[in-house]
């Protein structure tokens, strides 16, 4: 366990679950410098117990952990209704696991090797997406009601559990009904990653939202362009069906 110096944890506690000690030490150093408290675990089972016990503001989770791997960790946490933002850390050859992790509810990922400064920036970004605005009015489209202040979504009056990133993407599109956004625009405006090369991440999150929202999903694909939000039953510009 690493304990930050007094006053260092002004931005909350980040849980790092990483079995390579030198990588965990660098992550801890940079996050602590930026005002985060940090707790490190080196295997999945201990990390999951720490997440349940310590309630961190975010989790930096390696996929290739001994014992309980990162995919099972993520699934177990989400199945228990814990929606703490998760930033996956993966090796270059783990694309399938990376996509599966996003589908199971991870908020973002980094591919090794990466800059520790980028790690800090990504943690800040997922926390920004999870922050609660206090003044934005309730949003409605079709059978959906989005409350940005409470960070909740109702589908025909029933709650739908979304990650911070899923909520941020849905809210961004619903705030601009009928407007078509390219994947690059969504990465810049929702994720905060202008010029990011992996636009497939947008498709994964759109697919996840459609699966969770079912027939109430307002998300439409505009072939060759991107995505928009259109009330179910309405004809959005260029909409061509429910698949990405």
CATH value at residue 197: 1.10.10.10
> Do 153 and 160 meet the contact criterion of CB atoms below 8 Å apart?
yes
- The CA distances from residue 55 to 12, 13, 63, 206, in Å, are 10, 8, 20, 28
- Looking at the 3D structure of the chain, how many domains does it have? 2
Give buried/exposed letters for 136-160 (b at 16+ CB in 10 A, else e).
Answer: eeebebbbbebbbeebebbbeeeeb
State the pLDDT confidence band at 234, using cuts at 50, 70 and 90. low
Same domain, 114 and 145: no
* Per-residue model confidence as pLDDT tens digits over 52-103: 999 999 999 999 898 899 999 999 999 998 989 999 998 876 778 888 888 8
Residue 86 belongs to a domain:
yes
Q: Does some domain include residue 155?
A: yes
User: 130, 149, 175 — which closes off a domain?
Assistant: 130
Give the number of C-alpha atoms closer than 13 A to the C-alpha of residue 161, restricted to the C-beta side: 10
175 and 150 housed in the same domain: yes
User: Among 102, 130, 158, where does a domain finish?
Assistant: 130
CATH of the domain at 85: 3.40.50.2300
The token duo for 121 is: 């920036």
As a whole number of angstroms, the distance between CA 187 and CA 202 comes to 7
Model pTM greater than 0.95? no
Question: Both 123 and 22 in a single domain?
Answer: yes
Q: Tell me if 32 is assigned to some domain.
A: yes
pLDDT per position as a tens digit, 210-228? 999 998 999 999 998 999 9
Together in a domain, 101 and 143: no
d(CA 162, CA 148): 12
* Listed residues 130, 162, 192: the one ending a domain: 130
Structural domain harbouring 25: 13-130
* % of the chain with per-residue pLDDT over 90: 60
On the question of pLDDT at 241 being above 80, the answer is no
Residue 116, pLDDT score = 92
Q: What is the mean pLDDT of residues 146-159?
A: 90
């Amino acid at each position: 366990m690493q304990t930050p110096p007094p006053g260092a944890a002004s931005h909350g506690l980040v849980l790092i679950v990483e079995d390579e000690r030198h990588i965990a030490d660098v992550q801890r150093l940079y996050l602590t410098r930026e005002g985060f408290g940090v707790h490190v675990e080196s295997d999945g089972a201990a990390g999951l117990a720490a997440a349940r016990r310590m309630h961190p503001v975010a989790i930096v989770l390696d996929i290739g952990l001994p014992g309980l791997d990162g995919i099972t960790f993520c699934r177990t946490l989400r199945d228990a209704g814990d929606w703490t933002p998760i930033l996956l850390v993966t090796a270059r050859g783990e694309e399938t696991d990376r996509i599966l992790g996003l589908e199971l509810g991870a908020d973002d990922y980094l591919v090794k090797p990466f800059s520790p400064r980028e790690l800090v920036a990504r943690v800040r970004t997922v926390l920004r997406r999870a922050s609660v605005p206090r003044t934005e009015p309730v949003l409605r489209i079709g059978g959906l009601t989005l409350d940005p202040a409470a960070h909740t979504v109702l589908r025909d009056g029933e709650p739908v559990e979304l990650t911070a990133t899923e909520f941020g993407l849905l809210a961004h599109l619903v705030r601009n009904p009928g407007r078509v956004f390219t994947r690059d625009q969504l990465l810049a405006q929702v994720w905060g990653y202008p010029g990011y090369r992996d636009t497939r991440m947008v498709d994964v999150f759109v697919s996840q939202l459609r699966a969770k929202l079912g027939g109430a999903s307002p998300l439409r694909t505009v072939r060759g362009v991107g995505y928009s939000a259109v009330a179910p039953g309405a004809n959005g510009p260029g909409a061509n069906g429910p698949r990405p």
